[in-house]
């Protein structure tokens, strides 16, 4: 069986070329992404190998794309923004990602953290992400088929957690994995904020006085669901 992306190459040609990816990074900079470490990571990861070959020509557009199983690969700006909020100008030792999907954000996080722990509830996407990460020879990622909406049963202590699915409340079991000063970044749609169903990119920081919440951009993600599939 051919490796996904085989025949396309990591450099790509035309609309999947290094030059096209560099233009994407310049667009992200113009749209307010300021963290040069994150921008460098976005430039290093060939997004076109994470999507079906028929969609590769659109890989560097700033839009989500379908990856199967009712899921999407997030638009580049969202990936960069969540990574920037998670990093917050710091060096990251460990990051936990909830919702691996096709592995694109995982690959970006692997450029900016020493170790990435990532879980995905849909086994078909676990297998797809594993093939993509192997194709790029990314070795600082631990990928598991697991339910990220609950306690993972792992002895983890990380600097940041990124949840790549929309929640209606802060998943409290995940907070125990954060080190002091650690940050949880997630799309959150509270039912009591007067904007029912509107997801806001939210950061929960483990400050010395207790968890501190900051609300940022309006976003739209698939829902965070329990159980395995």
The answer to whether the beta carbons of residues 198 and 218 sit under 8 Å apart is: yes
Nearest-angstrom CA–CA distance, 25 and 3: 26
Instruction: Given the residues 74, 83, 149, 191, select the one marked as catalytic.
Output: 74
Pairing of strands 178-188, 199-207: antiparallel
Q: Which H, E and C letters describe 26-56, residue by residue?
A: HHHHHCCCCCHHHHHHHHHCCHHHHCCHHHH
Q: Quickly list H helices, the chain.
A: 18-30, 36-44, 76-87, 104-112, 123-135, 172-175
Q: Across-strand partners of 188?
A: 167, 200
149 noted as active-site residue? no
Q: What are phi and psi of 68, to 5 degrees?
A: 95, 165
Nearest-angstrom CA–CA distance, 176 and 78: 25
Hey, which residues are catalytic here? Answer: 74
């Amino acid at each position: 069986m051919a490796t996904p992306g085989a025949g396309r190459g990591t450099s790509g040609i035309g609309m999947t070329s290094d030059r096209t990816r560099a233009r994407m990074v310049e667009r992200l900079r113009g749209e307010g992404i300021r963290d040069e470490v994150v921008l460098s990571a976005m430039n290093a990861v060939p997004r076109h190998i994470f999507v079906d070959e028929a969609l590769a020509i659109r890989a560097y557009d700033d839009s989500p794309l379908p990856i199967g199983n009712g899921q999407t690969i997030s638009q580049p700006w969202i990936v960069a923004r969540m990574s920037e909020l998670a990093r917050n100008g710091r060096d990251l030792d460990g990051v936990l990602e909830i919702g691996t999907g096709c592995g694109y954000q995982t690959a970006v996080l692997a450029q900016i953290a020493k170790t990435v722990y990532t879980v995905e509830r849909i086994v078909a996407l676990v297998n797809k992400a594993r093939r993509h990460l192997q194709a790029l020879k990314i070795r600082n990622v631990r990928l598991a088929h697991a339910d990220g909406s609950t306690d993972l049963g792992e002895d983890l202590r990380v600097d940041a957690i990124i949840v790549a699915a929309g929640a209606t409340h802060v998943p409290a079991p995940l907070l125990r994995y954060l080190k002091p000063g650690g940050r949880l970044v997630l799309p959150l749609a509270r039912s009591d904020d007067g904007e029912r169903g509107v997801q806001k990119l939210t950061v929960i920081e483990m400050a010395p006085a207790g968890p501190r919440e900051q609300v940022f951009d309006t976003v739209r993600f698939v829902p965070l669901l329990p159980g395995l599939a």
